[in-house]
Amino acid sequence: SRGRKRPFIVIVDAALLIETGSYKRYDKIVVVFCSPELQLARLVARDSLSPDEAALRIRRQMPILEKVKYGDYLIDTSGKYCDTQQQVKQVYLHLLADYEHWSLYIFHAAAAVV
Residue type at 41 in one-letter notation: A
What percentage of the chain exceeds 70 in pLDDT?
80
The string of pLDDT tens digits covering residues 51-105 is 999 999 999 999 999 999 999 999 999 999 999 999 999 999 998 887 766 544 3
Evaluate whether residue 27 is within a structural domain.
yes
Please give the share of the chain, as a percent, with pLDDT higher than 90. 61
Q: Which domain holds residue 69?
A: 9-111
- Each residue of 4-40: pLDDT tens digit? 666 667 788 887 899 999 999 988 899 999 999 999 9
CA distance to 4, 6, 81, 82, 101, per residue, from 1 (Å): 6, 10, 34, 32, 17
Question: Domain total for the chain?
Answer: 1
What residues have CB less than 8 Å from 41, skipping those under 6 apart?
none
| Amino acid making up residue 16 | L
Q: Is residue 29 part of a domain?
A: yes
pLDDT tier at 113, thresholds 50, 70, 90: very low
Which CATH number belongs to the domain containing residue 41 in this structure?
3.40.50.300
Mean pLDDT of the chain: 84
Q: Is residue 1 part of a domain?
A: no
pTM value is 0.78
Residue 3 lies in a domain: no
